[in-house]
Amino acid sequence: MSKRTREQLGVKEGDRIVLKGRVSFARLNKAVTGDALARENERRERMGMMRTKEFRSVTIENPEIVQGDGTPLAQFHSQEVYQSKSTSKPTMSFESKSLFPPSYGHMQEDGSIKEIPDPEKNPDQGQIVYLLITAFKSKGFANLGSTFDTIVFEKGDIQFYEGKGSNLAGFGQAMNMPVQSMTNAESAVREQVPVGAQMDQQGGFDQAPVGNQNHANQNNFGSFGQGPEQGQGGFDQAQTQEQGGFGQAPPEQNGTNNNPFGSFGVQEGSMPNQGSPFGNSGQRGKSPYA
């Protein structure tokens, strides 16, 4: 059966879902540009794939629908789940071609979500993330697109990929001196940046939602659960608008949703010959939808 388009499924501009999964590969620290992008496009051409412009990407395993189960946008992305050749786990990959990095948040022990600056690092393998997927329509394109525009880290220490054979670690070994990793220390320091200061830089939480992925991200984080003083409520507030953001009850689609935390339900092995778009070397392999 051929893949159905967003339009065929009834997806509307601005529709949103929230997915949860464990990171297996990411290129989020910076956009893929320059020589790296040229090599990527050469690889895609060899494989009969379309060239791309600069992008960021993230791949998650065992994706779960946290918000929006059963909606047209969830139905569309359920077609993109594939079985990883290396782990045999259900896997999804997303690319964002926005000129701007996504918004970032970190779940707190008290149930709130704290906005944090772009860490400019890649989350380590196994780090649990929540992705806000938003449908948009870019200028000059007839069809809708959809990808992540906000990333929220699970509560607890955030694990970032630091790379093996770190030069600093090697220096510490040579000098027999301990080296303090910045993986979590940096995250803790950055989270102390006053939210007000961050809002001044990014234009606040309450501006109009993004409809075009090629302009500044001004309202992506706001849908993930604002404080009571902003009238949005937190994690458990009932949804007051259709296709609300993270922390609101999912809309009913064809009856009551009894599985708001259900996975896409693709059985392992049910999608043969569809491997991970990234190999063990960290280079992209062939993807069924890249």
Give the DSSP letter string of 37-59. Answer: HHHHHHHHHHTTPPP--SEEEEE
97 exposure class (CB count in 10 Å sphere: 0-12, 13-18, 19+): middle
Whether 77 is in a domain gets the answer yes
pLDDT at 36: 92
Residue 52 counted as domain residue: yes
Domain extent, residue 48, equals 6-230
Listed in sequence order, the DSSP H helices in the chain are: 6-9, 34-46, 72-78, 167-175, 185-190, 195-202
74 token code pair: 């969830």
pTM for this model (two decimals): 0.61
Number of domains observed in the structure of the chain: 1
- Is the residue at 264 inside a domain? no
Report yes or no on 190 lying in a domain.
Answer: yes
Confidence of residue 280 (pLDDT cuts 50, 70, 90): very low
Q: Tens digit of pLDDT for each residue in 92-113? A: 999 999 989 999 999 999 999 9
- Residue range 51-84, pLDDT digits in tens: 999 999 999 999 999 999 999 999 999 999 999 9
Q: Is residue 46 part of a domain?
A: yes
- Residue percentage of the chain with pLDDT more than 90: 52
pLDDT of residue 166: 56
pLDDT tens digits, residue range 191-239?
454 444 443 333 333 333 344 444 444 444 444 443 334 433 333 333 3
| pLDDT value of residue 32 | 93
Q: What is the mean pLDDT of residues 261-270?
A: 44
Is 265 a member of any domain?
no
Strand partners, 133: 17, 148
Q: 283 in a domain, yes or no?
A: no
Contacts of 263-266 with C-beta under 8 Å, sequence gap 24+, read: 263/62, 263/63, 263/64, 263/65, 263/90, 264/63, 264/64, 264/65, 264/77, 264/78, 264/81, 264/90, 265/78, 266/78, 266/81, 266/83, 266/90
Within a domain: residue 279? no
